[in-house]
Amino acid sequence: MSAEKEAVKDESMLLQKAMISRNYDAITSKHETGRKVVSTFVPGNLNELVMCFDMLNNLPEINAIQAGMRKLSGGYIMEAEKGGHSEDVCTYVKADIGQMARGNIAPNGKPFPDPDILLLSYTGCYTFMKWFELLREQYKCPTVMVHVPYQGDGHTTQNMRDYIVKQLKEEVIPTFERISGKKFDIDLLRELMTRSAKAEDDLVWVIETAKHKPSPIDAYFGAVYYVGPIFSAFRGTQEAVDYYKVLKKEIQYRIDNKMGPITPEGEMKEQKYRIVVEGPPNWTNYREFWKMFYDEGAVVVASSYSKVGGTYDMGFRHDPKNPLESLADYCLGCYTNRNLPTRVDILEKYINDYEADGLLTNSIKSCNSFSAGQLMMMREVEKRTGKPGAFIETDLVDPRYFSAANVKNRLESYFQMIEQKRRGVKSAA
């Protein structure tokens, strides 16, 4: 077995790594520090509210991703299936449950403590509801739900917003006060949200730099890191604000020097294809998957996955003037909470605004929230933009469903197709 080469890392990556480790250390030492832990989801993540109660935020999706990247998820999933969980359902859930069955060890090598509360922010995915019913059965801990209505007609309504705010006021906040023993302080929430908005401005600046040619970032594989602090336990912190400052500087340097994104193997030199990607990535073979792109000179200039934890590039910012309403709007606006026609509009806009060559869909076997309807979406985007689409199928954290040879073949022929299409356009002109 050949050892994997050490990946090239920017300062911002090292910074983020340290932030994540600190959060895991804080979580795993909750018994010593007496701090309370909330488990919750990335879309509809109410981090500022959690921080108001000095609680720590633990995100099982992120833990599943970590397990996937460290090649542990396969074993966890099998463990869960042995315990009666169906092979057909979301593999994040099974990775989480299997991990629990195997001692629930955090990435820092210490056992995860049981959460003090499950905050079921139901935003954009049905599975969330069952996932936390399943966890509640295990942990027997208090659970509070925020039901976020779906934007079925492509817009939000005052009724939806009022419903969420009421749930926050009358259920979530009182429950958090009870668990944490701390009184809710709306001014603290405002203060945290001011920082959120600052970091969000910077994140948008970052992801929109992909409009440059060459693009200084990869808006899928690279963006996964860029969205990290805002999508997880750091939105609202000074650390997140500082992280984006550093990141912006790095990217500005690359723009000034006409450099491409930094991949695990160094700077990506040639950019032959500009791609928009729909759907989450595969985590078990993440580097291998990314390599298939940069080896062919394909850079991702926009992706929907980098909007699952908030659609900031469409204008939303946490608003300290209307804190609870703004949390409601945040939850309502997450990508998978938007209906399919809106998702198509977004992808079409990305193709145009980022001058992309086409849309690639990475369809995830066990994620109905993203996947059900993606074929239709792809065809619609193709029709509207005249740019070719391609469809590959993998899974999030189940290594059994990542067929490297198939994916590589499919990608190579897709890039050829783009090439042919270009030639066709040129010769027609």
Partner 1 sequence: MGTQEIVAKCQAIFDDLNFTVAREWKAAKPGRKVIGFMPVYVPMELIHAANALPLGIMGGGDSMEVIHGDAYYQSYICRIPRSTIELGVTGRLDFVDMMLFPFVCDVIRNLSGIWKMMFPNVVSRFFDTPQNFDEKIGGTYYEHELLELKEAIEQATGNKITDESIRNSIKLYNENRKLIWSLYDLRAKEPWKFPTWELYLLMRAGLQLPVDEHNQMLKDYIAAAHAEDKPRRDNSRIVLNGSFCEQPPLNLIKSIEMAGCYVVDDDYVLINRFLTEDVPLEGDLLKNLSTTYLKHSVETSCKYVPKEEDKGKYLLNRISQCQAEGVIFAAPSFCDPALLDRPMLSHRVSENNIPSISFKYAENSGQMQPIREQAGTFADSIKLWS
Residues lying near partner 1 in the complex (CB under 8 A) are found at 83-86, 88-90, 93, 120, 122, 125-127, 129-131, 133-134, 136-137, 140, 143, 145, 147, 149-150, 152-153, 157, 159-160, 162-163, 166-167, 170-171, 339-344, 363, 365-366, 368-369, 371-376, 380, 393
What span, in angstroms and rounded, lies between the C-alpha atoms of 281 and 79?
23
* DSSP symbols for 76-106: HHHHHHHTT--TTS-HHHHHHHHHHHTT-B-
Residue 63 CB partners (closer than 8 Å, separation 6+) = 95, 96, 99, 106, 107, 112
* Least distance to partner 1, CB of residue 189, Å: 20
Footprint on residues 31-50 left by ligand SF4 (CB under 6 A): none
From the list partner 1, ligand SF4, none, partner contacted by residue 134 (C-beta under 5 to 8 A by kind) = partner 1
Q: Is 421 left (phi over 0), alpha (psi -120 to 50) or beta?
A: alpha
DSSP designation for 6: P
Outline where 227-373 has alpha helix (H).
Answer: 228-231, 238-256, 286-294, 323-333, 340-353, 368-371
**Tokens representing residue 400 in the block:** 């059994």
Using CB under 6 A, which of 378, 396, 407, 411 touches ligand SF4? 396
Footprint on residues 61-90 left by ligand SF4 (CB under 6 A): 90
**Tokens representing residue 109 in the block:** 């090598």
Name the residue nearer to ligand SF4 (CB basis): 131 or 290: 131
77 to each of 21, 97, 173, 197, how far by Cα in Å? 24, 8, 34, 37
Name the residue nearer to ligand SF4 (CB basis): 344 or 396: 396
State which H helix or E strand residue 122 sits in. Answer: strand 117-122
From the list partner 1, ligand SF4, none, partner contacted by residue 314 (C-beta under 5 to 8 A by kind) = none
Count of residues that bind ligand SF4 according to CB under 6 A: 10
From the list partner 1, ligand SF4, none, partner contacted by residue 339 (C-beta under 5 to 8 A by kind) = partner 1
* Least distance to partner 1, CB of residue 373, Å: 4
* Least distance to ligand SF4, CB of residue 89, Å: 8
Using CB under 6 A, which of 135, 165, 367, 407 touches ligand SF4? 367
Q: Is 334 in the site for ligand SF4 (CB under 6 A)?
A: no
Q: Is 330 in the site for ligand SF4 (CB under 6 A)?
A: no
Residue 319 CB partners (closer than 8 Å, separation 6+) = 193, 197, 325, 326, 329
Name the residue nearer to partner 1 (CB basis): 170 or 187: 170
Q: Is 11 helix (H, G, I), strand (E, B) or coil?
A: helix
Q: Is 63 helix (H, G, I), strand (E, B) or coil?
A: helix
From the list partner 1, ligand SF4, none, partner contacted by residue 92 (C-beta under 5 to 8 A by kind) = ligand SF4
In a 10 Å sphere around its CB, with 0-12 CB exposed, 13-18 middle and 19+ buried, how is residue 355 labelled?
exposed
**Tokens representing residue 236 in the block:** 């609202």
From the list ligand SF4, partner 1, none, partner contacted by residue 318 (C-beta under 5 to 8 A by kind) = none
Residue nearest to ligand SF4 (CB): 367
From the list partner 1, ligand SF4, none, partner contacted by residue 396 (C-beta under 5 to 8 A by kind) = ligand SF4
**φ, ψ for residue 86 (rounded to 5)?**
-70, 145
Using CB under 6 A, which of 24, 370, 402, 414 touches ligand SF4? 370
DSSP designation for 338: B
Question: Residues 112-151: x/- map of binding to ligand SF4 (CB under 6 A)?
Answer: -------------x-xx-----------------------
* Least distance to ligand SF4, CB of residue 347, Å: 17
Name the residue nearer to partner 1 (CB basis): 252 or 339: 339
Residue 259 CB partners (closer than 8 Å, separation 6+) = 214, 216, 253, 267
What span, in angstroms and rounded, lies between the C-alpha atoms of 361 and 359?
6
Q: Is 326 in the site for ligand SF4 (CB under 6 A)?
A: no
What span, in angstroms and rounded, lies between the C-alpha atoms of 376 and 302?
19
* Least distance to ligand SF4, CB of residue 132, Å: 11
Name the residue nearer to partner 1 (CB basis): 126 or 253: 126
* Least distance to partner 1, CB of residue 188, Å: 25
In a 10 Å sphere around its CB, with 0-12 CB exposed, 13-18 middle and 19+ buried, how is residue 242 labelled?
middle
Name the residue nearer to ligand SF4 (CB basis): 92 or 176: 92
Give the interface with ligand SF4 as residue ranges (CB under 6 A): 90, 92, 125, 127-128, 336, 367, 369-370, 396
